[in-house]
Amino acid sequence: MRGITTWGMVALLLLTACAAPAAPAASGPIAAVAVAPELASAASAPAAAAAQDESTPTANAAEPAADAAPGFGAPDPATQEADAGPAPEFGAGPAAAAGATENDSSAVAVPSAVALPVSAPVARPAADARYFAGTGYRVANRYFFRYFQQHGGSRTLGQPISNQFRYLGFPVQLYENRMLLLQPDNTVFVVPLGNSDAFPFTTVNGMTIPANDPSIAAMMPQDPNAPDYSQQTLAAVYQLVPDTMPDGTQVNFLTTYLNSVTYQEAFPAGDQPQELLPYVAFQVWGRPLTNAVPDPNNPSMIYQRFENGIMAYDGNAGTTTSLPLGSWLASLLTGQNVPSDLASAAQGGRFINQYQAGAPAPALARPDELPDSDLTNAFVPPPAPTDWSTLSATFAGAPYQAPSPDYGVSVFLWGEPAATGRLLNQVKDLNFHWIRQLFQWQAIEGADKGQFDWSEADRVVKAANDAGVKIIARLDFAPDWSQAVPVPNGPPDDLNDFGDFVNAFVSRYGPSSTQGVGRVDAIEVWNEPNLTREWGNKPINQDQAGQYVNMLKIAYEAAKAADPQITVISAGLTPTGTNDDTARPDDVYLQWLYDAGAGQYFDVLGAHGAGYKAPPDMSPDAVAADPSYGGDPSFSFRRVEQLRDVMVKNGDSGKQVWLQEFGWTSDEVNPAYAWHRVTEQQKADYIVGAYEWARDHWSPWIGVMALWNLAAPGWTQQNEEYWWSITNPDGSPRPAYDALKAARQNGTLP
């Protein structure tokens, strides 16, 4: 069982370690409660060797084993696999609603009678939750931020007042009231600045603060292996931390201790019992090291020292606060705004005036006194983040007008270097001009905010550029650091995080990029937001459509700021045949998008054109009238025409529609799709016919038609995507591939 050893942390501030018993782990009745996975807290005092510096994290950084005792937290969930294969696509239809699988991205049912809600206002996106304008700093990494969110935030820890820097072998960051440290297993530890053996100053700003009282330490439980050790420790906290002094003064120290973290903060998923909350407060404050003691020179002030902080009661103001220990340490290190009494006490010590602004690494005046430390730029505020929602770029004309139609196909090059050349050669063999490729946000910026790994994206973009093929980059799959409670493919808590990613992506790869790594011609902002599982399993309704418009606006502003020549495509909406909170009809949802102002924030409308069982020339009305084809207008390739009608109705006829996915499935295995399967020969005929219909009836408003798909290596017949493919996973052609190639060569599809 792992405890939170705060006393052992004194070794980080002293040249020699200071031994002490482990902090309490919940036992007895509480021990039976499952560990809360949201608690990203320190589980033990860190060993000083081989700390992982969060300035160079990896996408699959090791997470600690979930062996922390209940009440003291467990690690963050492991980072999701960067690319778990192709995203689920296309609807299954009414016969499969109850049997939808993970690969079924639009599990559908016969639509129910749901009245359309009235137009809803667009909800404003959140500001950058990590950045604090008051201090000019931001929470440095995902682990600190998770801890910060779940341990009282700025109310308890104070705002960040430094960048991350290396201190005695560990990544740390200063906050006004605390100092956080990242351990080698990526758990977070509160450095015990409240311990006067570690931060040996008792006179600050005219206050006389008591030093550690050994008699109080002796009153704490000494045997961490005792079965009721955690209960004993908390009982000692309740005994030694007063709300009321013997003379009746109401200091509220115990109340402040216990209320430093709310239940919602500690357990954002709401899945843990209330009685665990005091253990989270213990992580913030630690053990008491003194009694509550009046200031000998100012009796209206009363202090109590804890391992991680100091409480102060001001009798004149009637307030109880946490003293700014982090700010005092920052003042000593920088030599700025140091209270005179603290400066006098610190003379000859190893903290005073250590930081050397602008000096080369390690930017220390006396590095031998702070070994294995580097304060380079520790106190240089970073640039303020951009609130993309405040920018005002709106659609004024598409930067690119595609031939009507133009030819594209979805491919899966990511993580497939051995197959990339073959797949791109097949695209060229078909005389197709575009590929649609998924670039998962979590695969590029998965380690943490601002920590980009462009290596695989560079490879994919360069390969396509070298082949002379244009790229539509689908951008979605938020990294788990962007969500307080990570959910599969849900939107980030702060949409500006996505905006920052889009801006970085387009800056690197936009059509006007001069970075020399390759170019992407268009981006698609998310995928199928009219499906609950493409929006973090949240209800799909008009308010949620407004949330997607927020995302679309931010992505549009961020993309156009990076490169005005990038083509921004709205997320392809899938035809569902369902009208409930799990999925909405694409035409209904599209009207909601327009109601929320989406028309200003895309250059091209993205759409999906699954043919289901019907031939490509069969009208939506005819399909709706025939139960053998599903009995819903959604189950028609020509459903796209009804989306076009919505565009025209909203005065948006000047824009093209690009099909991000279309095709037919020959699925013989998955019940969710088998109801509308066609033969491989029918698939070939229908796909060629679809391009012919678009050419003859949809020009000039149809643009790129990206077929779904060339098979990815490794797919089997259990993958529903396999059955939509026009090739086999080994690259061998199916009839649709041969038919398309012939049609492109013989002039049927010029």
Alpha helices in 445-541 (DSSP H): 455-466, 495-509
Which residue, 254, 249, 109, 116, is CA-closest to 578? 109
Please indicate, yes or no, if residue 270 is contained in any of the structural domains.
yes
- Asked if 365 and 415 sit in the same domain, the reply is no
How far, in Å, CA of 596 to CA of 588, rounded? 13
Please indicate, yes or no, if residue 619 is contained in any of the structural domains.
yes
How far, in Å, CA of 188 to CA of 299, rounded? 37
Which residue, 16, 67, 7, is CA-closest to 220? 7
- Asked if 163 and 268 sit in the same domain, the reply is yes
Tokens for 630? 């599903």
Given 324, 348, 369, which residue is the final one in a domain? 369
Q: Mean pLDDT over all residues of the chain?
A: 85
Arithmetic mean of pLDDT, 234-256: 97
How far, in Å, CA of 28 to CA of 106, rounded? 47
What pLDDT score does 127 carry? 59
Give the model confidence (pLDDT) of 401-418 as tens digits.
999 999 999 999 999 999
Is 552 strand, coil or helix? helix
Contact 559, 506 (CB under 8 A): yes
- Amino acid identity, residue 374? D
Which residue, 51, 76, 325, is CA-closest to 196? 325
- Asked if 438 and 349 sit in the same domain, the reply is no
How far, in Å, CA of 583 to CA of 571, rounded? 15
How far, in Å, CA of 65 to CA of 494, rounded? 29
Q: What is the 3-state secondary structure (H, E, C) of 632-647?
A: CCCCCCCHHHHHHHHH
- Asked if 364 and 487 sit in the same domain, the reply is no
pLDDT over threshold 80, residue 116 = no
Give kind and range of the element (H or E) at residue 442.
helix 441-444
What pLDDT score does 25 carry? 40
State CA 528 to chain mean position distance: 19
What pLDDT score does 405 carry? 96
Tokens for 125? 């996106």
Arithmetic mean of pLDDT, 108-115: 29
- Asked if 650 and 739 sit in the same domain, the reply is yes
Higher pLDDT residue, 83 or 582?
Answer: 582
Given 324, 344, 369, which residue is the final one in a domain? 369
How far, in Å, CA of 412 to CA of 423, rounded? 8
Arithmetic mean of pLDDT, 304-321: 97
Higher pLDDT residue, 146 or 27?
Answer: 146
How far, in Å, CA of 474 to CA of 569, rounded? 9
Contact 26, 230 (CB under 8 A): yes
Given 341, 369, 397, which residue is the final one in a domain? 369
CATH at 474: 3.20.20.80
Contact 281, 261 (CB under 8 A): yes
Which residue, 126, 130, 129, 133, is CA-closest to 495? 126
What pLDDT score does 129 carry? 82
Percent with pLDDT over 70 in the chain: 83
Contact 496, 387 (CB under 8 A): yes
- Asked if 340 and 420 sit in the same domain, the reply is no
Of 52-66, 482-496, 706-720, the range with the lowest mean pLDDT is 52-66
How far, in Å, CA of 346 to CA of 331, rounded? 11
pLDDT over threshold 70, residue 447 = yes
Higher pLDDT residue, 547 or 73?
Answer: 547
* CA separation, residue 14 to residues 84, 200, 333 (Å): 46, 10, 16
Arithmetic mean of pLDDT, 323-342: 96
Arithmetic mean of pLDDT, 202-210: 95
Please indicate, yes or no, if residue 624 is contained in any of the structural domains.
yes
Arithmetic mean of pLDDT, 108-119: 30
Contact 109, 578 (CB under 8 A): yes
What pLDDT score does 484 carry? 85
Contact 565, 574 (CB under 8 A): no
Please indicate, yes or no, if residue 79 is contained in any of the structural domains.
no
How far, in Å, CA of 617 to CA of 638, rounded? 7
Higher pLDDT residue, 742 or 92?
Answer: 742
Please indicate, yes or no, if residue 80 is contained in any of the structural domains.
no
Contact 390, 377 (CB under 8 A): no
Tokens for 82? 């960067």
Give the model confidence (pLDDT) of 510-553 as tens digits.
999 988 899 999 999 999 999 999 999 999 999 999 999 999 99
What pLDDT score does 148 carry? 96
What pLDDT score does 16 carry? 27
* Domain extent at residue 474: 406-746
What pLDDT score does 14 carry? 35
Arithmetic mean of pLDDT, 240-251: 97
- β-strand pairing of 434-440 with 406-410: parallel
- Asked if 588 and 669 sit in the same domain, the reply is yes
What pLDDT score does 364 carry? 97
Number of domains the chain is built from = 2
For helices 417-429 and 455-466, give the axis angle rounded to 10 degrees: 30
- Asked if 362 and 410 sit in the same domain, the reply is no
Global pTM? Answer: 0.77
In DSSP terms, which residues pair with 436 in a beta bridge?
410, 472
Tokens for 18? 């200071």
Please indicate, yes or no, if residue 24 is contained in any of the structural domains.
yes
Burial 648-675 (b: 16+ CB within 10 A, else e): eeeebeebbbbbbbbbbbbbeebebbbb
Is 363 strand, coil or helix? coil
Secondary structure letter of residue 34 according to DSSP: P
Please indicate, yes or no, if residue 116 is contained in any of the structural domains.
no
Phi, psi (degrees; rounded to nearest 5) at 505:
-65, -50
For helices 542-562 and 495-509, give the axis angle rounded to 10 degrees: 30
- Asked if 429 and 286 sit in the same domain, the reply is no
Please indicate, yes or no, if residue 211 is contained in any of the structural domains.
yes
How far, in Å, CA of 476 to CA of 435, rounded? 17
Of 91-100, 253-262, 364-373, the range with the lowest mean pLDDT is 91-100
* Angle, CA 222 vertex, CA 259 and CA 302 arms, to 5°: 40
- Asked if 447 and 570 sit in the same domain, the reply is yes
Higher pLDDT residue, 396 or 439?
Answer: 439
Q: What is the 3-state secondary structure (H, E, C) of 682-713?
A: HHHHHHHHHHHHHHHHCCCCEEEEEECCCCCC
How far, in Å, CA of 164 to CA of 173, rounded? 5
- Asked if 187 and 333 sit in the same domain, the reply is yes
- β-strand pairing of 298-305 with 293-295: antiparallel
What pLDDT score does 198 carry? 85
How far, in Å, CA of 291 to CA of 257, rounded? 14
Q: What does 90-137 look like in DSSP terms, one character per residue? A: EEEEGGGGGG--TTEEEE--PPP--PPPPP-PPPPPPP-TTEETTTTE
Of 39-43, 144-148, 490-494, the range with the lowest mean pLDDT is 39-43
How far, in Å, CA of 192 to CA of 278, rounded? 18
Give the model confidence (pLDDT) of 380-393 as tens digits.
999 888 999 888 88
Tokens for 283? 């992580």
How far, in Å, CA of 347 to CA of 127, rounded? 42
Give the model confidence (pLDDT) of 653-703 as tens digits.
999 999 999 999 999 999 989 999 999 999 999 999 999 999 999 999 999
Most confident range, picked from 99-108, 194-203, 240-249: 240-249
- Asked if 364 and 413 sit in the same domain, the reply is no
pLDDT over threshold 80, residue 634 = yes
Alpha helices in 518-650 (DSSP H): 542-562, 586-595, 620-624, 639-649
* CA separation, residue 448 to residues 58, 520, 535 (Å): 9, 24, 21
